[in-house]
Amino acid sequence: MREPAHRLIKRSLVWAGVCAGAGAVVLLPDVVLRRPLSPLPLLVGAATFTAALALYGRSWRAADRLGRGIEGARTAVLNLVADQGASVPKTLGPGTPPEVEAMLGSLGLYQDQITRERHAPDHKLLTVLGSLASGVVVITEQGQVSLLNTTARELLGAERARVGTSLFAALSRESVLLAMQKAQRAGRMLESVFERLDGVSLQGRISLLPGDEGAVLIFPPVELDLHRPGVEFDLKLHDVPPVAGPLDLALRLEDLPVIVVDTETTGLDVLTDRIVSIGAVCAHGPRLYKSRLIDDLVDPGVPIPPASTAVHGITDAMVKDARAFPEVWADFQRLAQGRVVVGHNIAFDLTILREECRRHGRPWEDFVFIDTLRLASLLNPAMGRLDLENLAQLYQLDLHGRHTALGDALVTAELFLRMVTRLQMQGFGTLGELLRFHCTEAHDVIAGQKERGWIHTQPERLRP
C-alpha cells in the first residue's frame, strides 16, 4: 500500500535535510584538503528541500500527486548519486508536477557543469604546453583556434591569432585546408608548409583530431624572447550543438535552436548600401555554441565611406582580398538551416541580406526570426534607449568586441538567453507563445520597421 501523501511529503522533507547535511559533511574535507569543491550533494539536498517545502501546503489530493512526483524525483537523484555518469531525466512521464520538472531541470544543469569541470584539461599539462619552444595550435573543424601557446601566437602574429578567432585571419585558408586534406588521406601526422597572410612560409606538422573535430598544428622550435610563456585555450569550442530539426510552434524554448546574426555595412540604406562583414553564432536552448559561428569580412565591391569605417573600423584594404557575398552567404545558409534567426533590430539585417541576395542573383527564403529590440521594448518598457550598450549594462553583459559583426552577435546572443530566462519565468514556454508575444505586442518597434520598408512579418508557415 502506498504511504499517505502527507506522511510521504514530511518524510521527503526529512530526507532532503539529511541530504543537505550529508552534503555539508562531504564538502568539509574538500575545504580542508584544498581540493575542488563538489557542490552536488548540497545542491541535491537544497533543491529537493525547497521543492518539498513548496508542495507541503497543498490540498491532500494535490499533495498525493506531488508526493508521487517527489518519490520519483528522489529515485532519480539517488541513481545520480550512485552513478554520476547517469543522466538526470527531464520528466518522470505524464502528469509530472511542474515543480518536480523544474527541480530535475536544475539538477541536470548542475550535472552538466560538474561533467565539464571533470573533463577540464590538466593544468600541469597546460604549463608544459605553454613552456614549449615549439608552437602549438589546436583548431576546430571550422578553423577556430581553441588552444594556442605563446610561441605559436608570436609566430602567427599576436594581433591576428587568438583563441576563439579564425586561424584564417593569420594563415591562408588554402594552405591549411590542403594540409588537412593530405593528413586525412594519409591517416597520420604530416609535414606541411603553411602560408602566413603576409607571404611568409612556415614549416610545420599537422595531425587531425579524432572524429573530425579539428586538427593540431605544430611548428618547429624557434628562438623567441618570451617574457611570459603560457597557453590560452577554450576547448568547449569543440562542442557541437544537437542537430536542428524542423521548426514547430510547439517547440519548447529550452530546446530552441537559434542562430544570432549581425552585419556591418557601408551605410544604413538597405537598398543601396552593401555588407562588409557578417558575424553569427549558434545556440541551442540555454547554451551558446561558439564552435558554430561565422566571422567573415565581405568584399562589398564598392568603397567603404570613412563615416562607416569610423563606426566598425573596416577599411577598403581589409576587404580587398575578402570573399564575395555569395560565398559567405552559402556558409550562413548551411548554419541557419532549421534555426530561428535572432538579432538586435534584426529587421535591418534581414532586409539588407535579402537585397544582397537579389543583387547577386541568389534565391531568398524568409526566416523565422526573433528581434531582441522588440523583446527589450516589452520587457523593459521604462527604458529610454534600447541600444545594446544600455541593455548590456542592465543585463550585466560584457561588451568586449562591440561594433564588430561577431562581437555584436555574441552580445546579442547572451542578451537573448537572459531574456528567454525572464520570459520563461513569466510563463512563456514555446516558440509559438514567444512569436505571438513578439509579433503582436511590440507595436511601436514594428511600426518603425514597417515604415522603413524592412522585413517585419514572419513567414507564412510559422506565422503565429
Give the per-residue pLDDT at 53. Answer: 46
C-alpha closest to that of 248 among 338, 327, 159? 338
Which cell numbers in the block locate residue 384? 529610454
Q: Do domains 123-238 and 253-462 have the same CATH topology?
A: no
Give the per-residue pLDDT at 4. Answer: 45
Secondary structure of residue 346 in the 3-state scheme: helix
C-alpha closest to that of 213 among 292, 136, 116? 292
Contacts of 181-188 with C-beta under 8 Å, sequence gap 24+, read: 183/207, 183/208, 183/215, 184/208
Give the per-residue pLDDT at 278. Answer: 96
Give the per-residue pLDDT at 20. Answer: 39
Question: How confident is residue 248, by pLDDT bands cut at 50, 70 and 90?
Answer: very high
- In this structure, what DSSP letter does residue 217 have? E
Question: How confident is residue 2, by pLDDT bands cut at 50, 70 and 90?
Answer: very low
Give the per-residue pLDDT at 74. Answer: 52
Give the per-residue pLDDT at 190. Answer: 92
For 89-136, write each residue's pLDDT tens digit.
Answer: 666 566 667 766 676 676 667 666 666 555 555 666 767 776 677 889
| Mean pLDDT to the nearest integer, 192-204 | 92
Query: Domain 123-238, what fold?
Result: Beta-Lactamase (3.30.450)
Question: How confident is residue 232, by pLDDT bands cut at 50, 70 and 90?
Answer: confident
Which cell numbers in the block locate residue 251? 517547440
For 398-429, write each residue's pLDDT tens digit.
Answer: 776 666 899 899 999 999 999 999 999 999 99
Residue showing cell 624572447: 225
Residue showing cell 610561441: 151
Give the per-residue pLDDT at 335. Answer: 93
pLDDT > 70 in the chain, percent:
71
Degrees, nearest 5: CA angle 89-340-333: 120
Alpha carbons 151 and 246: distance in angstroms, whole number: 45
Decide if 15 contacts 22 (C-beta within 8 A): no
Give the per-residue pLDDT at 286. Answer: 92
Question: How confident is residue 218, by pLDDT bands cut at 50, 70 and 90?
Answer: very high
For 353-403, write each residue's pLDDT tens digit.
Answer: 999 999 999 999 999 999 999 999 999 998 889 999 899 888 888 776 666
Alpha carbons 88 and 35: distance in angstroms, whole number: 25
Q: Whole-number mean pLDDT of the chain? A: 80
Query: Domain 253-462, what fold?
Result: Nucleotidyltransferase; domain 5 (3.30.420)
Give the per-residue pLDDT at 277. Answer: 96
Question: How confident is residue 165, by pLDDT bands cut at 50, 70 and 90?
Answer: confident
**Distances from the Cα of 268 to the Cαs of 60, 264, 340, 369, in angstroms?**
62, 10, 24, 20
| Torsion angle (degrees, nearest 10) of CA 236, 237, 239, 242 | 130
Question: For the chain, what are the domain ranges?
Answer: 5-118, 123-238, 253-462
Q: Picking from 117-121, 190-194, 340-344, 390-394, which range would have the lowest pLDDT averaged per residue?
A: 117-121
Which cell numbers in the block locate residue 385? 534607449
Q: Inform me whether the pLDDT recorded for 187 exceeds 80.
A: yes
Q: Inform me whether the pLDDT recorded for 305 exceeds 60.
A: yes
Give the per-residue pLDDT at 142. Answer: 81
Question: How confident is residue 452, by pLDDT bands cut at 50, 70 and 90?
Answer: very high
Give the per-residue pLDDT at 223. Answer: 73
| Mean pLDDT to the nearest integer, 33-57 | 46
Alpha carbons 373 and 101: distance in angstroms, whole number: 31
Q: Inform me whether the pLDDT recorded for 58 exceeds 50.
A: no
Degrees, nearest 5: CA angle 149-140-255: 125
Question: How confident is residue 35, by pLDDT bands cut at 50, 70 and 90?
Answer: very low
For 312-330, write each residue's pLDDT tens digit.
Answer: 999 999 998 899 999 999 9
Decide if 23 contacts 45 (C-beta within 8 A): yes
| Torsion angle (degrees, nearest 10) of CA 435, 437, 440, 441 | -150
Q: For 432-457, b where at least 16 C-beta lie within 10 A, e where not — what string? A: ebbbebbbeebeebbeebeeeebbbe
Secondary structure of residue 96 in the 3-state scheme: coil
For 264-279, write each residue's pLDDT tens digit.
Answer: 999 999 999 999 999 9
φ, ψ at 195 (rounded to 5°): -100, 120
